[in-house]
Amino acid sequence: MPMRIHAALLVAIMSAVTILLRFLPFLIWSGRRKTPKYILYLGRVLPPAIIGMLVIYCLKDITFSAAPFGLPELIAGVCVVLLQALRRNSLLSILGGTILYMFLVQVIF
C-alpha cells in the first residue's frame, strides 16, 4: 500500500477511535432511558479524582534520583497551590507558576 494512503488511514483511525471513546458513555447512558444511579454517582465523584490523576500524569517523568530532583516542578507546583489558595484566580495561578517554572529551568537549573 502506498505510504501516503496508509498514513491517511492511520490518521482516520486515530480520529475515529478518539471520537468513539469520547461519545461512548453518552451513547450508552444519556438517551431517553434514565441514567443508572451508579453512573450518576461516578459522574459526581470522578471529576476531583480525574483531576488528581491528571496532576500525577503531568508529573510522571520526574526522577528524584538525579538532578534537578524534580525541584523545579515542586517549587513551581507549590507556588500554583499557594496562589490559588490565596487569590482564587486560576489565570493568575497558572501564569505565575509557569513563569516561575520557565525561570527555574532556563536560568537556575
Partner 1 sequence: MNRNTVKAALIRSIPVMAGYIVLGTGFGILLRGAGYGLPWAFAMSLFIYAGSLQYVGASMLASGASLLTGILTSIMVNARHLFYSISMIGRYRDAGRFKPYMIFGLTDEVYTLLVGGEVPEGAEPQAYRFLVTLFCHSYWVTGSVLGSALGTVLPFSTEGIEFSMTALFIAAFTGQWLESRDHIPALTGLLCTLVCRILFGPGRFLIPAMLLITAVLTLLRHRMEDTAEESQ
Please tell me whether residue 36 binds partner 1 under the rule CB under 8 A: no
DSSP code of residue 108: I
Please tell me whether residue 21 binds partner 1 under the rule CB under 8 A: yes
Instruction: Label residue 105 exposed, middle or buried (CB < 10 Å: 0-12, 13-18, 19+).
Output: middle
Taking the CA atoms of residue 105, residue 62, residue 77 and residue 97 in that order, the dihedral angle to the nearest 10 degrees is: 30
From 5, 9, 32, 64, residue interacting with partner 1 (rule: CB under 8 A):
9
CB-CB contact of 32 with 70 (8 Å): no
Q: Of 54-73, which residues contact partner 1 (CB under 8 A)?
A: 54-61, 72-73
| Site residues (vs partner 1, CB under 8 A) | 3, 6-7, 9-15, 17-19, 21-26, 29-30, 35, 38-61, 72-73, 76-77, 80-81, 83-85, 88, 90-91, 93-95, 97-98, 101-102, 104-106
